[in-house]
């Protein structure tokens, strides 16, 4: 397995392009299943998870054409196998996003149950409950969710769906399914993440009737069919946030081209409170920082958008490890998302975890060591820690990083980091 070697201590300067968002791209690839006409997606990030989703679509009989950097064309006209097998689902939980579109377009789907996950138990009970309210019968057999329209139904029906908690991919599944359902669907307690709004914009470009996306109440009037469209994937706010934390920690001056400051309010507010200068500029975000040792540690609590994102918790914690003072971080979304803590301790960080609360006591220095990535955002946290640690840090198991960051080491290298990938 590949590893990253990082020699810490370099300040970062220059410009980094922010890629399309992983968590917008994945549902949008599934949304292409809703139409028999081709869909073109622009700004598709080069990620392992995107490759996995494309394999899944091809398995279903969907045509996929991709030039190296150009648009991705997806043609689900000849969709013949409405199935997501375990081999693909187990490597990427977002495969569950195929369930809603397949039910809506084909009236049947077989999608493997995802099973366990490193960051928490992550059940899909809400997905099942909501789609059942829309007229699906979903049974679990041999590890697969076998979904069909209930007896006598020819298509899904509109429903009033109020989930027990806010779920991002749940909201996306319902939104996609509802576009082709009979009548009106109202989603209460809907997720408000920018990726939901971006998916809704794509669906509207396909002819869907949607109102209220970006708020907690979304209304969808079902239509008979959706047509093809061309859509540009929104910039990745988590990739941008990760680079903001990296530059804040190392010190320097970097422009994140295409970054959306308006999607990162909670993170930017904390970075400013810490002492970094973060500004929205034309088509990007500029960050200037004297370096982590001159910043003040900041506590936060992860919550759903527009709150502080759980997907930024690990990266901000790396910054807190070398800032002045003590910070308390509370993770409220996933029950096991502190796996990076033990690895940070190997670098000399001082952190105590009690349940969902971590207390970080900033240290004047970290010292490089070999550490192991455990999930996507934990990997990014260890890269940031490596950029500021004295000496060499080796981050192992970076296949996790490749799932969700588009050429991270090349982008960091481009702004002055001493980082290289060593192939196994």
**What is the set of active-site residues?**
117
**Contact criterion met (CB below 8 Å) for 366 and 322:** yes
The Cα–Cα gap between 350 and 345 comes to 6
For residue 6, the cross-strand partners are 393, 419
Can residue 168 be called a binding residue for ligand EPU (CB under 6 A)?
yes
The footprint of ligand EPU on residues 235-264 (CB under 6 A) is none
Element (H, E) at 160: strand 160-162
DSSP string, 285-302: EEEEES-GGGSB---EEB
Can residue 374 be called a binding residue for ligand EPU (CB under 6 A)?
no
Site string for ligand EPU, 58-97 (x = CB under 6 A): -----------------------------------xx---
Size of site (CB under 6 A) for ligand EPU: 24
The Cα–Cα gap between 201 and 207 comes to 10
For ligand EPU, give the closer residue by CB, 171 or 363.
171
Nearest to 103 by CA among 136, 151, 54: 136
The footprint of ligand EPU on residues 341-370 (CB under 6 A) is none
Residue 252's contacts (CB-CB under 8 Å, 6 or more residues apart) are 11, 12, 13, 288, 289, 291, 415, 416
The alpha carbon torsion through 92, 94, 98, 99 (nearest 10 deg) reads 110
Calculate the alpha carbon distances from 245 to 6, 168, 236, 295, 315 in Å: 16, 24, 14, 12, 7
Shortest Å, Cβ 172 to ligand EPU: 7
Nearest to 422 by CA among 368, 370, 366: 370
For ligand EPU, give the closer residue by CB, 123 or 143.
123
Site string for ligand EPU, 18-37 (x = CB under 6 A): ----xx--x-----------
Shortest Å, Cβ 400 to ligand EPU: 9
For ligand EPU, give the closer residue by CB, 24 or 360.
24
For ligand EPU, give the closer residue by CB, 376 or 398.
376
Site string for ligand EPU, 121-160 (x = CB under 6 A): -xxxxxx---------------------------------
The footprint of ligand EPU on residues 386-415 (CB under 6 A) is 404
Binding site for ligand EPU (CB under 6 A): 22-23, 26, 93-94, 120, 122-127, 165, 167-170, 310-311, 333-334, 376-377, 404
């Amino acid at each position: 397995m590949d590893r990253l070697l990082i020699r810490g201590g370099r300040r970062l300067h220059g410009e980094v392009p922010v890629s399309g968002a992983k968590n917008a791209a994945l549902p949008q690839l599934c949304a292409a299943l809703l139409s028999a006409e081709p869909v073109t997606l622009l700004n598709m990030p080069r990620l392992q998870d995107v490759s996995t989703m494309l394999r899944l679509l091809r398995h279903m009989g969907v045509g996929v054409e991709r030039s190296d950097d150009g648009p991705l064309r997806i043609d689900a006209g000849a969709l013949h196998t409405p199935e997501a097998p375990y081999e693909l689902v187990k490597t990427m939980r977002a495969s569950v996003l195929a369930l809603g579109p397949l039910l809506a377009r084909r009236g049947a789907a077989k999608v493997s149950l995802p099973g366990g996950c490193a960051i928490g138990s992550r059940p899909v009970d809400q997905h099942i409950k909501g789609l059942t309210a829309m007229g699906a019968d979903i049974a679990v057999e041999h590890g697969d969710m076998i979904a069909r329209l209930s007896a006598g139904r020819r298509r899904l029906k509109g429903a009033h769906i109020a989930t027990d908690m806010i779920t991002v991919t749940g909201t996306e599944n319902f939104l996609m399914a509802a576009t082709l359902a009979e009548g009106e669907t109202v989603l209460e307690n809907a997720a408000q993440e920018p990726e939901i709004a971006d998916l809704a914009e794509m669906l509207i470009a396909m002819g869907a009737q949607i109102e209220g996306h970006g708020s907690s109440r979304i209304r969808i009037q079902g239509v008979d069919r959706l047509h093809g469209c061309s859509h540009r994937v929104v910039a990745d706010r988590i990739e941008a946030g990760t680079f903001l934390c990296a530059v804040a920690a190392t010190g320097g001056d970097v422009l994140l081209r295409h970054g959306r400051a308006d999607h990162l309010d909670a993170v930017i507010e904390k970075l400013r409170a810490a002492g970094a200068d973060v500004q929205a500029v034309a088509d990007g975000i500029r960050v200037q920082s004297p370096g982590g040792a001159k910043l003040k540690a900041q506590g936060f609590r992860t919550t759903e958008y527009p709150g502080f994102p759980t997907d930024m918790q690990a990266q901000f914690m790396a910054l807190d490890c070398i800032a002045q003072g003590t910070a308390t971080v509370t993770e409220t979304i996933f029950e096991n998302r502190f796996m990076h803590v033990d690895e940070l301790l190997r670098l000399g960080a001082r952190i105590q975890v009690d349940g969902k609360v971590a207390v970080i006591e900033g240290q004047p220095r970290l010292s490089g060591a070999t550490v192991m990535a455990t999930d996507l955002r934990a990997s990014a946290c260890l890269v940031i820690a490596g950029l500021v640690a004295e000496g060499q840090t080796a981050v192992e198991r970076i296949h996790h990083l490749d799932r969700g960051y588009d050429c991270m080491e090349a982008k960091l290298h481009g702004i002055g980091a001493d980082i290289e990938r060593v192939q196994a």
